[in-house]
Amino acid sequence: MRTIIVDDNPLILEIEKNIISKNEYLNIVGEFYNGNKFLKSLSKLKPNVVFLDIEMPEINGIEIAEKVEEFNENIQIVFLTSYEKYAMEAFKVNTINYILKPLTKEMLDVTVKRLLKYRKKSIYFTENSYKNQIITLGNFEVYGNGGKEVVKWPTIKEEELFAYFIYLRGEKVDKWKLCEMLWSNLTSEKALHNLHNTIYRLKKTLKFYGIENQIMHQQGSYSGIFGNIHCDLWELEDLMNKKFILNEPKIKNIEVILSKYKGDLYGSKDYVWAIDLKENIEKYYLNTIKALSKYYYDKNLYYKTEEYTKKFLKLNPIDEDTIELLMKTFYKFNDKLNIINIYKKLEITLKEELDIEPRKSTELLYLNLLEKM
């Protein structure tokens, strides 16, 4: 379940985060010290559960919970407090549980059981139950009407504008920036006219395909918020924004998300504004599958090591750290032929592309492995 923690005490929040992050049913997508900042991010993060401190400055937890309930009554609230006196107030809003600090694993486990029981009864559409989909990794396709129809865009500009709103995830963008991005060859008056028409058509298109949308205009800026739809980019970004240590409870979820990476962001669509994010995503993907390769090698799961080293080498065939790991993996399989093949392939590629030879450590490992077989 997509989980947010709100607590104005950084030290306590870190302790709560440490306990909550170890629960296999909870996926932390945000943490806030300030209640107002949390509320501003609510529509973007789309939580299923909020762990909420009651005693906070500016706006207290009870007030925050009421605003969350107004936004979506199916978001489950778990109050965290040091005072029992708040219990009755807590249950006036949509609270699934009330936990006295300090939070413990045992208390959390009991709460999560209740959360899951409530969740099964809820008609709230989570990201896993959405049938409408946005695919951005390796291609750009949008599926509406319950995931049964591919959205056909009336114009290329409408498609790019939607792609940009997806990229922004609810952040505001100045109207003139949109005009410059989409119609830099036109006068400002004509570009603004085109923008208004394109936004109007975009709203109609999304409505036709059953995709909830709020494209809002405030003080010369636009923002787009889209509901009842799953997006692979958002899922990967959520993973990228978290600091995690590879371990058994989390690794399956990480692998599922990484498996959706099929290539460059937006596929063959060369959107200039997406270049930095495209590069960051590829770098993150490579670093993570490299880490997975090492993780599985250390766990003696050599078939998984082979799987991830090969995925890495498809995108970066001359990374010698990964070549060395794959050779050691083939050694575990007693596969002499593949050790020779991968090393010779590296030699040829380095010679053709860079006119260099493999580094000494790679050569020595290669010779040492062959000698021992």
Model confidence pLDDT, tens digit, residues 311-361: 999 999 999 999 999 999 999 999 999 999 999 999 999 999 999 999 999
Model confidence pLDDT, tens digit, residues 208-219: 999 988 888 888
Q: For residue 30, what are the CA distances in angstroms to 6, 17, 21, 65, 239?
A: 9, 10, 11, 16, 11
All domains of the chain in start order, with CATH: 2-121 (3.40.50.2300), 126-298 (1.10.10.10), 317-373 (no CATH)
Residue 285, pLDDT above cutoff 70 = yes
Give the predicted TM-score (pTM) of the model: 0.64
Query: In this predicted structure, what is the pLDDT of residue 146?
Result: 87
Distance CA(370)–CA(336), nearest Å, equals: 7
Element at 82 (helix H, strand E)? none
Query: In this predicted structure, what is the pLDDT of residue 83?
Result: 62
Which two three-digit tokens encode residue 117? 């029981």
Of 3, 54, 48, 60, nearest to 27 by C-alpha is 3
